[in-house]
Amino acid sequence: MAGVLVVSTMTPDPEKMPALLKGLQNFAQIVKENEPDCLRWQVWEANGEIVVLEEFRSLDAREAHMNAPYTLAAAKMRTEGAPSWRKRLLPLAPRSGFARRHNCEETKQRLDDGIAIHRCV
């Protein structure tokens, strides 16, 4: 079965950005500890917009993630902090390409913890 990639974007109110990023960082740690079939859960920031990349081993893993109590609780935080939340669910069929770690020191430190939060400016 193919994996699932989810790309979410949100544009939070600038004054809510720090709290939202911290909440997403905490959420990433909970997902990492509880969902072995979540292969990636990364938060990126670019020019005031947040992009969340989620990769799951299967649609069943994605469904389990969406129905987890901590995910349901986090939905309220996202809605309050970023009213313009857009999500795309993409079934994966690997064809070609590669992934490399970003060379930014801030990203590298956080990737060592298994959580990527990067600020591109």
Supply the CATH number for residue 82's domain: 3.30.70.100
| Burial bucket for residue 75 (CB in 10 Å: 0-12, 13-18, 19+) | exposed
Q: Is the pTM of this model over 0.75?
A: no
Cα–Cα dist 57/2, whole Å: 7
Query: How many distinct structural domains can be found in the chain?
Result: 1
Instruction: Please tell me which residue, 35 or 111, carries the higher pLDDT value.
Output: 35
Of 98 and 20, the one with more pLDDT: 20
The better pLDDT of the pair 102, 22 is held by 22
Q: How confident is the model at residue 31 (pLDDT cuts 50, 70, 90)?
A: very high
Domain that holds residue 62: 4-120
Show the tokens assigned to 85: 């939340």
DSSP 42-64: EEEEETTEEEEEEEESSHHHHHH
Angle at 29 between CA 95 and CA 50, to 5 degrees: 65
